[in-house]
Structures are given as structure tokens and as C-alpha cells.
Structure 1
Amino acid sequence: MNFNFLSPVSDMVLAHNELLSQQALGRKLRIHSKRNGLPDLEGVGIAIIGVLENRNDSNYIGEEFQINEIRKSLYALFPGSWTTIVADLGDINKGETVEDTYFALKTTLAILINKQIIPIIIGGSQDLTYANYRAYDAIIPMVNVVNVDCKFDLGDSTKPIKNNSFVGKIILDKPYNLFNYATVGYQTYFNSQEEIDLMDKLYFESYRLGQISKDITLVEPVLRDANIVSIDLNSVKSSEVSLNQKYSPNGFDGKEICAISRYAGISNKVSSIGIYEYSPSKDDEITSMLIAQIIWYFIEGVNFRVKDDDFTNENNYQKYITLVDDQELIFYKSNKTGRWWIEIPFLTEVNNKLKRHTLLPCMHQDYLDACNNIVPDRWYKAFQKNCI
């Protein structure tokens, strides 16, 4: 197995780990170390990877990047009653060029995803999401990306890729594998009107910070439909992080960002997650602890996954049919979890790759809205994308 790109976890972190309680998470991980090499991946469900690349940060000024503090915070936490085995595979160092780092990340992720191991990427700049997306080229025909961010990061795709423009590259670069892109927690004043209009025109989903803060459960169906989740730490408000990390007085609080991470973990479809835009600093304990807790909640979520999306057996679900403006909408509700889906009708004359996208996760509220003759927004956007 080609994991040549991975360098071991630093001896300093491992020495720190030796001092922890036997019950601590760090003592239960399979860790890539200089002494023992790569751990056995047999039975591993989740793998942590650091990517020490931040050169495409639009504010990059040559500073070094490391995630030792995050590891120390994470290792010191206590696991829940988990059955999933977690490995820490160490770091992908900066390549000669950023493209080399992308290649190393893409190759490593493709191996893990094919082995049904969920990678948790702790990264520098968020443009690494592009390499994460490209890892799926030979794995699945269409990919859904959810970006937890205060900005859309569409940018100008004619210019070189940066951490604030990588989504434009994802949309326009071949092969075209992106089906849906959703931004969770965007703040209007950080986004140009052109970008907001483009999100609408492409029938992509966007959820404002205020919407989500009012009702955090709105993100659950969006994450249930995601393959890739990318979290930008700048979506967290300044009061929750250390001096170097401060970005905006508004944003998610620690509890909200951890809840979002747990929803991502519970999703049966999420097969990779990345946490980006970490800025190490001397007074860093608070940010590294927050990231450690975001990772903890994701692992917790994965341990609570329930296979509730098998609709071949009629005993597993209830089916509801409503009419909205002469359009028949068909809803399914899982008997196991009470989660809801809505069927997207297929246009037979359209050549599309989406045979497996027939069912779209939704909320009970969408069904209630449909009963009151209101077309659910997610259904409308997915239907329009099918027509394009």
C-alpha cells in the first residue's frame, strides 16, 4: 500500500502521550511513529491525517505550519463508548510545489476511501478541499460537498487556486463530478452580490449563519447528503478562539460547530472531512482544544451511524404522497430513526449520471410544508439541477 507521503507523528507528541491516562484517546489510537512505522489498518474505520500546507493561503507570508498542539489536545480527551478503531497516520509535508502536496493528499485519500476508512484531514489552507474532491474521481460519479464557512469561496476560477477561490476550480475543472455544493453558515457581508447570485443560478444551497443558529437541525439533511465536509475555522466567532485565529465577531460558537461535526459523523454518506485554516500561535490552547473537540464529536457521530436508508424493504419505512401544484411529491420516513427523504422524479429524456440520487434527505417540516402547498426548497433545487 502506497503511503509514502506520510511522515510519522512527532516524538514530542508521542512523549506527551505516554504521560496520559491509560483511558485517554491517545492511548487507544493506532499511531504512525518513527519507531514502529505505519500502523496496521485492518479494521480501522477512521484515519487522522495532518497536511502541513498553507502556501495557497491568500495571506501567506512564509510562516511554518504544524499541528502538534491539536494532537496533544485530542490525545488527552477520553473516548466515548466507541467501537470504531481510529488511527493517526501522521502528516503529509509540503511538497516541492503545492501541486505536489495536492497529489500526495489525493493519492492517500483515494486509498483510504476505497478501503472504507474515513479520513479526517487537519489542514492548513482550505484549498486542500480541491485535492480531497479530486480523490473521488475514480470512486463515485457525482460528489456532494458541504462547506462550513462564512464565505462561498467561489472566487475567480481563471486565476490560480487560492483558499478563497477553490470552489470555482471544483466547478469548472474536468472531470465534472460535482453534483451539489452547499455552504453552511455564510455571512452576507463577506460575500459579493455576484457570488450570492451565482449560488442561486447554479441551484447550489446556502444557509445563513442566523438561520442555522436559530435551528441547528437544518444542517442535518444537508450533511446526510454530503460525501465531503470541509470546515473553515473562520466560520467560528472570535471569542471562541485564540488571538491568532480571530477573524470575525460573528460566527458559530463552540457548541454549534461541534453539533455540526456530529451531524457530519452521523451521516452514512460522509466519507471524508477536513478542518482547515488553523493558525498556530503561542497562546494556542483554546483553538487546538476546539479542533480536538470538533474531531471528537465527528468520531462520536460515526459511532452512532444507523443504516436507515434501505428502501427495498417496505417494513423499514412509511411512504407519504402529497400534491403541490399538480406535482406529486413522495416522502419516505424511516421507521428506525424517524428521518425523512423526498423522491426526485427523473426526466427520462435527460442523460444524467444521477440514478442513485433519487432520494434526497429532508426534514419533517418539508413534508408539512408540502401538505400546505409549499414546494420544499431543496427538492426544487435538486429537480432544477436534473433538468440542466
Structure 2
Amino acid sequence: MSLSDFFTPIDLKSIMPKNGYYTSHLGDKIAHFSVDFPDLNQKTDIAIIGVQDDRNAINNPGCALGPDYVREKLYQLFEGSYKTKIADLGNIRQGATITDTYFAVKTVAHELIKKNILPIIIGGGQDITYAQYMAYEELEQKVDLVVVDPRFDLDDETATESLETTSASYLNKIFLHEPNYLFNYSNLGYQTYFSSQESLRVMDKLYFDVHRLGEITGQVAVTEPIIRNANMISFDIGAIRSSDATGNANATPNGFYGEEACQIARYAGFNDKLSSIGFYEFNPAYDSNGQTATLVAQMIWYFIDGFYNRKRDFPLNPKSQYLIYKTSLKHDDHEVVFVKSKKSDRWWMQVPYPTGGSMNERFHLVPCRYDDYKTAVAGEMPDLWWRTYQKLN
């Protein structure tokens, strides 16, 4: 089966400006499926995928129509100071059942990742995150998942794998899936009044990283090491405040500012390790003057900008490009080792595998902040070190 079998072409006439695109517009640069399916054997770095399915998008019917509205705005943005090699594969329409849609997304994303092409998924409901995650199943690799969301999409009452996959419960399917490939889950921007105490206890018990909106607003740079650790990212447009992004039936007054969302997207693109990203829950039915479609397009532009400015400083090779810092703790003989890239000034921390852990490596490298190094210099164990060590057991 060819990948083209999963897609329907883009109706270019419906999204193109009257006078067409400038040669420097992305609309002129992106190889799009409007007549012929893009040749992925040609050098392609990024593939855009629309998913037109909102059957399990809780309280947000209409978000299946989002992809083409985002394309309309994205194609009118100018290419940055680099040569893009991007293909737009068109839209995956909803299957006969939601399971058919998940299968299509999983298969397409898996094939692209295998070809070293990064899929940008434009949804559709956020339940499609589950299909995005399942793309990693046959790759047999541990997955670090980052979700930008004001809520934990977790059903506390009926936490079973047989639970229906919806935009409000897809994390149950991911957490309980066997075999388990999930190494770490991080949430950026949760709001406590939308989060049950039971779900917070689950996050703490599993040593997952969850960060309140208040921890991040105004200092979005603290998200960079968290994002740098991700293999895949799922961004719920409902995480952006309604004044900046009206196009979501679940939008609320609080959330990230538009420029913060763009910064998060750029950090995601900058991440050498990231191999897929999804932007979900944009609903054109609620979008005033195309404001949200424009913002999502700008977020994708910033992601692409980050992607083409990657420093390629992970894994840590050659060693001459890094500085090693060793610190001792006050009440322990243990030594905490930090690594700093000369290329990007970014920091990592070495966390040793327990006895009988990895056969090939003695330690796990986790992205961290300079503040973690300062904590260790002061003689205290960084919380990130301890949580990572617990997960390695």
C-alpha cells in the first residue's frame, strides 16, 4: 500500500490568494499534493499532514475542518533564511470508524519517521495524539512525550485500557498500553482548577514532569530543556488564552500568550531528538477573523525555523565540543556530572543507570538548566536528577 492511498488532495484554489503566491512564499516552496503526490524519495525534511476527524474531540465538533484554514495562512508566510524541503501530503479524511483514522495516522507517521522525515500533524481532535504515539510502536524505542495542555487528558474514574479514546482520555490509552514504550511524560501549562487531585497524585507517583501555567508564564525559557527531551509533542490549541486564540470551543481566559506559544514551537523545532509534532483542536467555527488559524500557521513557521537552525549537538559527539563539570553534594559522596555544549550553551546532566541497567551505557543524559547546575554546586541534589533516576529503575 502506498502512502498516497491514505490522503485526499488539497483544493489549492480554495486557499490560494487571488494573485497567487510570491516565489518567496511557503506556498510556492512547499511540494503539495493538489495534483500529484509529492515524491518522498527526493530529499524531504518535513511532511505536513492534515487529519479531518473530530468524532472524539470532546465539546469541540468542527475541528476536523481546521487543516485547510491553517494551510491558507501558512502558505502566505515567507520562507526564512534557509532552503526548506517540505512536502504537504494533503488530508487524511475520517475513516469508517475512528480506529481506521488512527490506523492511517499511525501508519503514515511511522513510515515518515522511518524515512527520517518529521511529520507535522494538523488536527482534528487531540485524541489523534494516541495514533501519533503508536507510530513509535514498531520502532521499538522508548518515547519521551511532551503535551502542551491546560488539562491532564486522563480519566481518573475509569482508568482502564478499554476506555474509549477521546480528547479527554487518550492519556489512559498511552499510559496503560502494553508493551510500554513511554519513558517520560511532561505537561506544560496545566491549570490546577482543571486538574483533579487524583490525577496530580498519579503524575507524582509515576515521576512525570508537570508544570503549572503560572510556573511558565513570563519565563517561557524554562520550558526549553523539557521540550529538548521530547521525541514527540502534542499541542492543544486550548492551552492558549482565548483572547489570543478564539478558535477552540474549549478556550478559556487563561493560557499561554500567542508569542509564548510560538516560542514553545520554536524550541520544539530546535530539538535534535524530536521526530513528530501535532497541533490539535483548532476549530474554525469559533475563529474570529482567522486569528487562530494565523497563530497556528505562525507557530508552524517558528517550528520550521527552529528545525532549520538545529545545532546537532546531541548525542554528545565529538567530545571536544563539550565542557564537563563535576559537582559534589553536601551529605553524600555522590558526584553529579554536567555537560555543556560549546555550540549552543545548552546543559545536560548525567544520571547513572542502576546496577543491571543499560548494557551499552553507564548513564542517561537528561537536558537540564543552568539552575540545576547551580543547585548541585550549592551541594543539593537537583530534583530532576532524582526523578530521572527513579524512572531508570
Amino acid in the other structure paired with 2:108? T
> Percent of pairs identical after alignment?
42
Amino acid in the other structure paired with 2:321? N
Q: Superposition pairs for residues 359-378 of structure 1, below 5 Å? A: 359-378=365-384
Residue of structure 2 equivalent to 1:157: 159
Q: TM-score normalised to the size of structure 1?
A: 0.94
* More off after superposition, 136-145 vs 64-73: 64-73
Amino acid in the other structure paired with 2:385? W
Deviations 1:175-210 (A, max 9, x none): 210000000011111100000111010000011111
CA contact (8 A) 1:153 1:167 kept: yes
CA contact (8 A) 1:184 1:208 kept: yes
Residue of structure 2 equivalent to 1:302: 307
Amino acid in the other structure paired with 2:166? K
Distance in 1, matches of 2:264 and 2:248, equals 23
| Deviation, structure 1 residue 17 | 7.7
| Deviation, structure 1 residue 135 | 0.3
Q: Superposition pairs for residues 283-302 of structure 1, below 5 Å? A: 283-302=288-307
**1:357 to 1:328, Cα distance in 2 relative to 1, 3 A:** closer
Residue of structure 2 equivalent to 1:319: 324
CA contact (8 A) 1:242 1:285 kept: no
- Answering whether residue 226 of structure 2 is matched by residue 225 of structure 1, we say no
3-state SS, counterpart of residue 4 of structure 2: coil
1:200 to 201, 204, 213: 204
Residue of structure 1 equivalent to 2:193: 189
Amino acid in the other structure paired with 1:287? T
Deviations 1:295-319 (A, max 9, x none): 0000000011011124343311111
3-state SS, counterpart of residue 239 of structure 1: coil
Distance in 1, matches of 2:378 and 2:190, equals 29
CA contact (8 A) 1:24 1:78 kept: yes
CA contact (8 A) 2:229 2:367 kept: yes
Q: Superposition pairs for residues 208-287 of structure 1, below 5 Å? A: 208-242=212-246, 245=249, 247-281=251-285, 283-287=288-292
CA contact (8 A) 2:59 2:250 kept: no
* More off after superposition, 60-69 vs 93-102: 60-69
CA contact (8 A) 2:64 2:123 kept: no
The Cα RMSD (Å) is 2.0
**1:312 to 1:47, Cα distance in 2 relative to 1, 3 A:** closer
3-state SS, counterpart of residue 104 of structure 2: helix
Distance in 2, matches of 1:236 and 1:207, equals 15
Q: Which runs of 5+ in 2 are unaligned?
A: none
- Answering whether residue 388 of structure 2 is matched by residue 386 of structure 1, we say no
CA contact (8 A) 2:53 2:64 kept: no
Deviations 1:253-311 (A, max 9, x none): 10000000000000001110000011112635101001000100000000110111243
Residue of structure 2 equivalent to 1:128: 128
CA contact (8 A) 2:119 2:275 kept: yes
CA contact (8 A) 1:238 1:245 kept: no
CA contact (8 A) 1:344 1:379 kept: yes
| Deviation, structure 1 residue 61 | 5.5
Distance in 2, matches of 1:201 and 1:354, equals 28
| Deviation, structure 1 residue 65 | 2.8
Q: Which runs of 5+ in 1 are unaligned?
A: none
- Answering whether residue 114 of structure 2 is matched by residue 108 of structure 1, we say no
- Answering whether residue 352 of structure 2 is matched by residue 345 of structure 1, we say yes
CA contact (8 A) 1:142 1:353 kept: no
Distance in 2, matches of 1:353 and 1:60, equals 47
CA contact (8 A) 1:182 1:222 kept: yes
3-state SS, counterpart of residue 45 of structure 2: strand
How many equivalent pairs are there?
A: 385
Amino acid in the other structure paired with 1:383? Y
CA contact (8 A) 2:240 2:256 kept: yes
Distance in 1, matches of 2:266 and 2:363, equals 23
CA contact (8 A) 1:17 1:72 kept: no
| Deviation, structure 1 residue 87 | 1.1
